[in-house]
Chain A
Amino acid sequence: MIRDALLLQLGYNATLVTLGATLLGMAAGVGGTFLFLRKRALVSDAISHATLPGVALAFMVMVTLGGTGRNLVGLLSGAALSAAVGLLLVSWLGTRTRLAEDAAIGSVLSVFFGFGIVLLTVIQTMSAGQQAGLEGFLLGSTAGMLRSDALVIAVSAALTLALVLLMRRPLTLASFDPDYAVSIGQNVRRTDLAMMGLVLAVTVVGLKIVGLILIVALLIIPPVTARFWTERTDRVVLISGAVGGLSAYVGAALSAAIPAVPTGPIIVLVGFVLFMLSLLMSPERGVVSALARHRAHQRRVHLRQGLLAMAQGQPIYENMTLRLLQRQGWARPDGVPTELGRGRAARALRDESRWQVIRSDPAFEAATAQDDGLTDIETVLTADQLAEVDARIPKAEVMS
C-alpha cells in the first residue's frame, strides 16, 4: 500500500494531491529560505493564523449568496485577503509603533485567530451550508477532497513554485546582501514585499493540505535543514526546496496509504526527521562531526602534552595521554618512552623552542597568529626561516 502510494498508484485524486503537495513543499522550502535568511521565520506564523477569519467570512458570504460555501477558490480568496490584512498590521505595528516585531506577530496571530473562532461559532449556528469542509483548514485534510479541489491545489502549487523560481534572483540578493542590492539599484523594500506576497501564496495554497497551524512548519523546517549542508545561499535555496518537496511527497503518500494518518502532521514529521538527520550528520555543522572534531583535537592536545613531558623526562600519570602514547607505539605500558617515542618527543620539544623564538620576534607576527600550541612550525615557516630560527635557539636546549 505504501509502495503504491509512493509510486502514485492510488488513483487520480490521491495522485493529484500528492503531486500538489510536492510542488507546494518545494515552493514553501524555497520561499521559506528567504524568510529564514531575513530572520523573519515567525512572520509566517502570523500570516497563517490570520487566514482563519478570511476563510470563515468567505464561507458566510458564499452561503448568504445562496451557495454551499464549499467552493475552494472562494475560501482561499478569503484566506488570502485576511492574511494580507494581518501581514500589513504586523508590519505597521512593527514599524509605526515601538512594539518589537515578535509582539506584533504574536498579537496579530492571536487576535485574528480568536476572531476567526468567533466567526466559526457563528457558522456552527447557521442553518444553511455544509460546514464540514471548514474544519479541515485548521489541521489540513485531504480526505473527502473533491476532484476539482485536488486540481485547484495542484495547479496553484505549480503556479506558486513558478513564481518563486521567477523571483529567486532579486530575492537571493536582497536576503544575503541587502546593501549591495541597494547599491546596484534594486528596490529592496519592494523585494521584501514580493517575498511576503510569496509566503502568503504558499500559505494559502497549503491551507487545505497541511492546515493553517502546520503550514508554518513547511516554511521553516526545510531552510533550517538546508542550512546544515552548505554555506552558499543559492544552494540553501535549492536544498531547501528539495527537502520541502521530499517531506511533502513522502508525507502525502504515507497519509494516503495509511488510515488515520492526517496529512499535515505526517508531512511535518517527515520534515523533522530530515532535519534531525541533518542536525546530527551534516559534515560541517553536524553534531556527530563536531564531536569527532572535538575528539581529534583533544587527542592532539594530549599527545602533544605527553610528548613534551617525555622530552623533559617527566613521568606521565594522565590515563588518556598514556593510552594514546601507547597506541602510537611511543611509550610502553609503564610509561617509559620507546625509541620512536623519544625521537618524536625531541621533535615536539624542538618545535616548541622554535615557536618560543618567533613568538618574541615581531618580524614573525603573521606566523605567530597560527600558534595554537598544536600546529607544527614546519607547516608555517619556510626552510630558510627555520634555519634562521634554529640559529637563535640556545644550544643546550636543542636535542636531536
Chain B
Amino acid sequence: MSGAEFVPLSLVPLLTGICVAIACALPGNFLVLRRQALIGDAISHVVLPGIVVAFLIGGTITTLPMLLGAAGAAVVAVGAIEAVRRLGRIETGAAMGVVFTTMFAGGVLLLEQSDTSSVHLDVEHALYGNLESLIWLDATGWSSLLDPQALAGIPVELPRMAATLFVVAGFIALFWRPLKISTFDEGFARTIGLRTGPLGLALVIMAAIAAVAAFDAVGSIIVIAMFICPPAAARLMTNRLEHQIAWSVGFATLAAVLGYVLAGYGPLWIGLQDSVSAAGMIATVSGLILAVTALVGPHRQRGSAAPVG
C-alpha cells in the first residue's frame, strides 16, 4: 500500500489508537495492581452524562466544553462512589455499581429527552467511537509529514491524544517512587510519610483524563479494554514493575496496530467487502493477547507472585 493512500487514510487513526492504548495502559498498571481495575469501567460509563449535560448547557458540541463536562462527571462519580461507600457503609464494588449505572441511566434519559438528533451525539457513538473517521484530508503522502500546511489540517484528536499521553507518562515518571511504594505497601508508604490518599486520587484523575481524552475519538469500550488487558497480560509476564510497564506498553501498541489492521483489511482477506469496528477489534485483540499470556505466561500462577521490586 502506497504512502499516498496510507498517510491520509490510516496513519492518523493508527497513531491515535496507539496513543490511546498506551495512555490508558500506563495508569492501568497501577489500577490493576491496586485492585481498582474497574475504575476505568466506571469512568467510561459516567462520561456520557457529563457530555450530555455539557451539550445541554453549552448548546454546541465543540470539544472543550464536552471535555470539561466529561471530566466533571468523572470527578462527581469518584466523589459519589466515596460518599455512598462511607455514608452507607457499603463495599466499594457495590457502591460503584450503584453510582455508575445510575449516572449512565441519567445520561441516556437526558439524551432521549433532549432533541439531539440533529447533532452527532448518540449512545452508539459514545460506546464505539469512530476511529476510522479520523481522516487526514490534506495529506498526499509521506512528504506531508514535513509540510507545515498539510500538518495544520491534521485531525485534532491526534495531537490531543499525544498531549494526553505526554501528561500521563509525565505524571507516572514524576511520581514513580511514591506510586510504586504505595501500590505495593500502603502501610509502609504511610509510615515514611507519603500522602497515599491524595496520591491515589491523583492516579484516578490521571486515568479519568486519559479516558475522557480518548473517549471522543475512540469510544468507551476500547478505553476499558486498554486500562485492563495490556497491564493484566503484562502482569502475567514478569514480577518486576519496571518490566511490567514495558510489557504493557508493548502489548498496548501491538493491540492497537494489529486491531486496526485486522479491522480495516481482515474482512477483505476473507472475502468480505466492508471493514469492521476498529475500536471493537482493538479490544478483541487485546483480549486475545491476555488469553495467550494466561495460558503460557511465565508468571501466570499465583505461586510465582514473589515481591515485586
- Show the binding face of A for B, using Cβ within 8 Å: 36, 39-42, 44-45, 93, 96-100, 102-103, 105-107, 109-118, 120-122, 125, 135, 138-139, 213-214, 216-217, 219-221, 223-224, 227-228, 260-262, 264-266, 268-269, 272, 275, 279, 285, 287
Cβ 8 A contact of A269, one of B102, B236, B267, B281: B102
Q: Assuming A110-B221, A118-B263, A275-B98, is B294 touching A102 (CB within 8 A)? A: no
- A98 touches which one: B225, B267, B301 (CB < 8 A)? B301
Asked whether, in the complex, the Cβ of B88 is within 8 Å of the Cβ of A224, the reply is: yes
B93 in the interface (beta carbon within 8 A):
yes
- Chain A residues lying within 8 Å of B242, measured Cβ to Cβ, are none
- For residues 260 through 309 of chain B, which have their beta carbon under 8 Å from a beta carbon of chain A? 263, 267, 272-277, 279-284, 286-287, 290, 294, 297, 299-302, 304-305
What's the nearest-Cβ distance from chain B to residue A76, in Å?
Answer: 21
Q: Write out, one digit per residue, whether chain B residues 157-193 have a CB within 8 A of any chain A CB (1) or not (0).
A: 0000000000000000000000000000000000000
Q: A93-B294, A99-B235, A107-B290 are in contact. Are A279 and B87 (CB under 8 A)?
A: yes
Known contacts A269-B102, A285-B89: A118-B97 contact under CB 8 Å: no
| Other-chain residue from A107, A109, A114, A216 in contact with B97 (beta carbon distance below 8 A) | A216
Residues of B within 8 A of A96 (CB): 294, 300
Chain B contacts for A105, CB-based, 8 A: 37-38
Verify B101–A41 contact, CB threshold 8 A.
no
* A110 to B302 Cα, complex, angstroms: 23
Instruction: Contact check, B105 vs A98: say whether CB atoms are below 8 A apart.
Output: no
Q: Which of B2-10, B13-21, B123-131, B143-151 forms part of the interface with chain A?
A: B123-131
Stretch of B55-63, B108-116, B134-142, B196-204 at the chain-chain interface:
B108-116
Q: Which residues of B contact A42 (CB under 8 A)?
A: 38, 93-94, 96-97
Contact B294 A97 (CB under 8 A): yes
B94→A217 contact, CB < 8 A: no
| CB <8 Å contact, A120 and B277 | yes
Q: Roughly how many angstroms separate A98 CA and B302 CA in the complex, as a whole number?
A: 4
Residue of B nearest to A217 (CB): B101
Q: Could you tell me if B276 and A122 are in contact, using CB atoms closer than 8 angstroms?
A: yes
**With A and B bound together, what is the CA distance between A296 and B98 in angstroms?**
31
Distance between A90 CB and nearest chain B CB, rounded to angstroms? 12
The smallest beta-carbon distance between B133 and chain A, in angstroms, is 13
Check B98 against A111 for contact (C-beta < 8 Å).
no
Is the pair A220, B98 in contact by a Cβ cutoff of 8 Å? yes
> At the interface, is chain B mostly helix, strand, loop or mixed?
helix
B84 lies within 8 A of A265 (CB): no
Tell me if B252 counts as interface (CB < 8 A to partner A). no
Residues of B within 8 A of A40 (CB): 93
CB of B35 closer than 8 Å to a CB of A: yes
Residue of B nearest to A40 (CB): B93
Q: How far is the CA of A216 from the CA of B91 in the complex (A)?
A: 16
Is the beta-carbon distance between B35 and A220 smaller than 8 angstroms? no
Given contacts A42-B38, A98-B235, A268-B101, contact A117 B279 (CB under 8 A): yes
Q: Is the CB of B305 within 8 A of A110?
A: no
The stretch from B70-78, B205-213, B226-234 touching chain A is B226-234
- Max chain B Cβ within 10 angstroms of own Cβ: one of A42, A121, A223: A121
Q: Is the interface of A mostly helix, strand, loop or mixed?
A: helix
Assembly CA distance A39 to B224 (angstroms): 22
Who on chain A is nearest to B99 by CB?
A272
Establish whether residues B277 and A125, one from each chain, have CB atoms under 8 Å apart when the complex forms.
no
Given A42-B93, A93-B294, A102-B35, A115 and B109 contact (CB-CB distance below 8 Å): no
When distances are taken between beta carbons in the complex, the residues of chain A under 8 Å from B128 are: 117
Give every chain B residue within 8 A of A227 (Cβ-Cβ).
Answer: 88, 90
Q: Across the interface, name the chain A residue whose C-beta is closest to B263.
A: A118
Interface contact A114-B280, CB-CB below 8 Å? yes
**Other CB < 8 Å A-B pairs besides A106-B224, A115-B284, 17 of them?**
A41-B91, A97-B300, A98-B300, A100-B35, A103-B35, A103-B232, A106-B38, A107-B287, A107-B290, A121-B275, A122-B276, A139-B108, A217-B101, A227-B88, A264-B105, A268-B101, A287-B87
Considering the chains assembled together, what is the distance between the CA atoms of A264 and B111 in angstroms?
13
Q: A45-B41, A99-B236, A102-B38 are in contact. Are A268 and B280 (CB under 8 A)?
A: no
Q: Given A100-B35, A125-B274, A228-B88, does the pair A41, B281 have CB atoms closer than 8 Å?
A: no
Q: Does B222 contact A (CB under 8 A)?
A: yes
B299 surroundings in chain A (CB, below 8 A)? 98
Bound: A115/B128 CA distance, A = 11
B276 touches A97 (CB 8 A): no
Question: Which one of A93, A109, A228 lies within 8 Å of B224 (CB-CB)?
Answer: A109
Establish whether residues A121 and B276, one from each chain, have CB atoms under 8 Å apart when the complex forms. Answer: yes
Whether A110 contacts B105 by the Cβ 8 Å rule is no
Is B32 close to A, CB under 8 A? Answer: yes
Q: Fill in one digit per residue for B215-227: 1 if any A CB lies within 8 Å of its CB, else 0.
A: 0000001101101
Cross-interface CB contact of A217 among B97, B112, B123, B305, cutoff 8 Å = B97
- A selection of 10 A-B contacts at a CB cut-off of 8 Å is A98-B304, A98-B305, A103-B37, A105-B37, A106-B224, A110-B229, A114-B281, A115-B284, A138-B124, A279-B87
Q: Is the CB of B109 within 8 A of A261?
A: yes
Query: Which A residues lie within 8 Å of B304 (CB)?
Result: 98
Chain B min CB distance to A39 (Å):
6
A114, B40: Cβ atoms under 8 Å? no
Q: How far is it, in angstroms, between the C-alpha of A93 and the C-alpha of B225 when the chains are bound?
A: 15
Minimal Cβ-Cβ distance residue in B for A42: B93
Q: Once the chains bind, are A114 and B221 in contact (CB under 8 Å)? A: yes
Asked if A113 meets B274 with Cβ closer than 8 Å, knowing A41-B97, A98-B304, A103-B37, the reply is no
Task: Decide: B105 and A279 in contact? CB cutoff 8 A.
Answer: no
Cα distance, A120 to B236, chains bound together (Å): 31
A214, B101: Cβ atoms closer than 8 Å: yes
